[in-house]
Amino acid sequence: MKLNLLKNLSRVFHYVVPAAVLVAVLAFKLYAPVAEELTLRVFDTFQRLNPRIYEAAPVRLLDIDDESLDRVGQWPWPRTFLAYMVRRLTELGASAVIFDVVFAEGDRTSPANILPIWNSTPEIDSLKEKVAELPDHDREFAAAIREAGNVITGFVLTQGTVKRTPTRKGSYAVAGDDPRPHLPAYTGAVVNLPDLEAAGAGNGSFNLVAEVDGLIRRVPMFVLLGDSLQLVRGGSADQGIYPTLPMEALRVAQGAKTYILKSAGASGEGAFGEKTGLNNIRVGRIEVPTDSSGRIWIHDTGTIKKRYVPAWKIFDDKEPIADEIANNIIIVGTSAAGLLDLRATPLAAVVPGAEVHVQAIEQMLLSHYLERPDWADGAEPLYIVVLGALLIALIPHLGAMWTGIIGMGATVLAGGGSWLLFVEQRMLLDPVMPIIATLLVYMASSAMNYLRTESEKKVVRAAFSRYMSPALVEQLAEDPSRLVLGGEMRDMTLLFADIRGFTSISEQFKGDPQGLTRLINRFLTPMSDMILARQGTIDKYMGDAIMAFWNAPLDDAKHAANACGTALAMFMALQAVNDKLKAEAEAEGAKFFTLKLGIGLNSGLVCVGNMGSDQRFDYSVLGDAVNLASRLEGQSKTYGVGIVIGEETQKRAPDYATLELDLIAVKGKKEAVRIFTVVGAPSLRNDPKFKQWADEHDNMLAAYRRQDWAEARRHLESCRLLDGAIGDFYDIYADRITDFEANPPGPNWDGVYVATSK
């Protein structure tokens, strides 16, 4: 009853605590910024392990590197240099030229800007008049841009104020809900000089939005200038939307006019509760899938030198760079550290911002995208809930080990499945939170299961520690389900052991009952140790007697053999007890009483369990095999041997050296049974001398039962010569043979001896 109540109470806590942990993990996944950061870190690891293999695409980075600064001069270069650059790139066949630079101020080297700083002397004044007639550098640059017809200028959006709104070059068509609430929004802008902006074929933002940890992982295709809520209330759905450089590059390179922005449910929820927003962009022949904020994930290749063209080569007509420029989109950017256009990505701590734009354009031209599906934000929490609930439900029934295997399998499925989807499908699914959920829920469930089982073990230990060996108690405590309360049928081996002549010994202590108690305790302690050491269970003590059994409450496939081994060990232990008692008696000048032991063993089907009354019960056994074991212990006196075992025990322990004693009907029973004695351990059974003795012994019994008294006596005398353990036994048969020779039992005699005492 106590065990069942404990189970019921602990079962409630077993479910409540892990469920609370599961809810906490789910809340952490949905609302904690650090959870998103952990997920991004895993995606970074995937990229490091499996970066995008570089595949040449028609896009290059014209790099204003440190060598170019050394050769051409410090930055900013005169706009006439840039005009020459544009004309040269056009001449070499560039499909589009993009400046990842904003020209917000006039060229300080233009004549109009440099004349005011010259000193006034007659010579300089006459020179000024000639210089003033020279063309303005910014106009020269604008003219080159206009002539090329494929140049894209860049601007940057800020969180400041708008002094002048950037010019939009393309037109827009919006399909679906308004995407603007999901786009990266800014309130200010730094734009190019009006003439430069007007001359360009395109105009795009080169804003890159870093993640929470400062790394660039996604590139926006469009950005928003202005308050999205105010914009949504009025005006067209494309108002305030501007393309970024990669997107504008695709439009200009294809000669396209219009962007088609597709969104679905931007103001609603997806099937799993995820925001959908902007999810697809089409420009010319190219279709670009995006996340809800109009971004694409960069599948980084790392820095590849082949995509770089040093800018100084444009100014050297002798450099063969036509193949690197022709039919390529050229982004003019810088890798020079002093110009500060450096970013951090999952594969590099320092990389030019222009390279990120180049990689984005490469991916769109190659239709190579990393995808985080719309359903991922809903499916991942659902997986966590299902997996956590499964673990919570299974641990009480399967145990920590099997549930741990299931949890490990789910963890491998989450981690390995996420990795395989990344490698094979370029899909991004979060393995981190399912793994964390699995580990925490498993630990919480296992902890509660441990507390519950420890409580159950405590109850089991208290119930069984007094009559089972510590090793068996621990086995039962580890698996209390192996204990069936109330009784079950089992094939078992029973042992009864008793001190021979105890009444005479008791008379010697009639004036010293405490001394008798000490003597009995000195006998019972080593006898009990021998039983417990061999997987036996002590049923009870009855004065100077012990009752024990094997194969309950725990399974013992060798219960008969263990019982036989115990019986032999008890006699060895008894010899040690007698030796000590004799030495003590001689030292004290007292009388020494030799303790003698009789043991009966029998095997058979019995009922075992908690038996007794509501007020008191014991774990015990009932059955005919129990009664026979008790009777066999009494017959050890009759046959003059220390151990008497039933035929069923002898069959179950065939390796032990045994000899048949008789075919006997014990007192209170009509049916005769064969009884045996255990002479020695299995090692003796194969001894040649024992085999000879056993053969003579069996021949003696066979002759005795066919009433060939002379033959029986001859074999009996041979046994006396070979006997090493049961000398008194042959005296009994010698007396029987003498009696039967004088009084033959008759032709119907079946050889059964009917016992007249217990």
What confidence tens digit (pLDDT) does each residue in 646-673 have?
999 999 999 999 999 999 988 767 789 9
Whole-prediction pTM value? 0.60
User: What is the pLDDT at residue 426?
Assistant: 93
Mean predicted confidence (pLDDT) in 112-140: 67
Cα 417 to Cα 43, 298, 455: the distances in Å are: 13, 21, 39
State how far the Cα of 373 lies from the Cα of 422, in Å rounded to an integer.
12
Q: Which residues of 494-509 are buried (b: 16+ CB within 10 A; e: fewer)?
A: bbbbbbeebeebbeeb
User: What is the pLDDT at residue 605?
Assistant: 96
- pLDDT tens sequence across 461-481: 666 665 555 665 666 666 665
User: What is the pLDDT at residue 266?
Assistant: 39
Mean predicted confidence (pLDDT) in 502-512: 81
The sheet carrying 171-175 orders its strands as: 171-175, 258-263, 278-283, 286-289
| Predicted confidence (pLDDT) at residue 252 exceeds the cutoff of 90 | yes
Question: Token pair for residue 70?
Answer: 């050394």
- Please give the angle made by the CA atoms of 83, 85 and 90, to the nearest 5 degrees: 100
User: What is the pLDDT at residue 35?
Assistant: 82
Indicate the pairing of strand 537-542 with strand 488-500: unpaired
State how far the Cα of 341 lies from the Cα of 61, in Å rounded to an integer.
14
| Predicted confidence (pLDDT) at residue 501 exceeds the cutoff of 80 | yes
| Predicted confidence (pLDDT) at residue 356 exceeds the cutoff of 80 | yes
User: What is the pLDDT at residue 478?
Assistant: 66
State how far the Cα of 87 lies from the Cα of 486, in Å rounded to an integer.
100
**Ranked by mean pLDDT, which of 345-359, 378-392, 601-615 comes out on top?**
345-359
User: What is the pLDDT at residue 547?
Assistant: 95
Question: Token pair for residue 351?
Answer: 């990389």
Query: Taking phi first (over 0 means left), then psi (-120 to 50 degrees means alpha), and beta for anything else, what does residue 408 get?
Result: alpha
Q: Which of 78-87, 673-682, 747-756 has the lowest mean pLDDT?
A: 747-756
User: What is the pLDDT at residue 267?
Assistant: 41
Greater confidence (758 vs 529) lies with: 529
User: What is the pLDDT at residue 305?
Assistant: 93
Question: Which among 630, 615, 477 is positioned nearest to 547, based on CA atoms?
Answer: 630
Residues 186 and 165 sit within 8 Å (Cβ to Cβ) = no
User: What is the pLDDT at residue 274?
Assistant: 44
Question: Which among 102, 199, 203, 196 is positioned nearest to 156, based on CA atoms?
Answer: 102
Question: Which among 633, 451, 624, 482 is positioned nearest to 551, based on CA atoms?
Answer: 482
- pLDDT tens sequence across 259-279: 999 987 534 444 344 445 788
| Predicted confidence (pLDDT) at residue 4 exceeds the cutoff of 60 | no
Task: Place 306 in a pLDDT band, splitting at 50, 70 and 90.
Answer: very high
- E strands, 13-109, where? 59-63, 96-99
Residues 314 and 81 sit within 8 Å (Cβ to Cβ) = no
The residues, any chain, with a CB within 8 Å of residue 273's CB and separated by 6 or more, are: 377, 378
Task: Kindly report the average pLDDT of the chain as a whole number.
Answer: 86
State how far the Cα of 298 lies from the Cα of 290, in Å rounded to an integer.
11
- pLDDT tens sequence across 144-178: 999 999 999 999 999 988 889 999 998 999 988 88
Residues 434 and 387 sit within 8 Å (Cβ to Cβ) = yes
User: What is the pLDDT at residue 2?
Assistant: 43
Task: Place 32 in a pLDDT band, splitting at 50, 70 and 90.
Answer: confident
State how far the Cα of 420 lies from the Cα of 418, in Å rounded to an integer.
6
User: What is the pLDDT at residue 273?
Assistant: 41
- pLDDT tens sequence across 520-573: 999 999 999 999 999 999 989 988 899 999 998 888 999 999 999 999 999 999
Indicate the pairing of strand 222-225 with strand 185-186: parallel
User: What is the pLDDT at residue 304?
Assistant: 92
Task: Place 757 in a pLDDT band, splitting at 50, 70 and 90.
Answer: low
% the chain with pLDDT above 70? 85
The residues, any chain, with a CB within 8 Å of residue 330's CB and separated by 6 or more, are: 59, 60, 61, 62, 89, 94, 96, 97, 98, 309
% the chain with pLDDT above 90? 55
User: What is the pLDDT at residue 11?
Assistant: 57
Count CA atoms within 13 Å of residue 454 on its CB side: 6
Task: Place 1 in a pLDDT band, splitting at 50, 70 and 90.
Answer: very low
Task: Place 445 in a pLDDT band, splitting at 50, 70 and 90.
Answer: confident
Greater confidence (643 vs 758) lies with: 643
DSSP state of 158: E
User: What is the pLDDT at residue 678?
Assistant: 96
User: What is the pLDDT at residue 662?
Assistant: 95
Q: Which of 5-9, 393-397, 507-511 has the lowest mean pLDDT?
A: 5-9
| Predicted confidence (pLDDT) at residue 360 exceeds the cutoff of 60 | yes
Mean predicted confidence (pLDDT) in 357-378: 92
State how far the Cα of 350 lies from the Cα of 343, in Å rounded to an integer.
5
- pLDDT tens sequence across 177-203: 888 888 999 999 999 999 999 999 999
User: What is the pLDDT at residue 393?
Assistant: 77
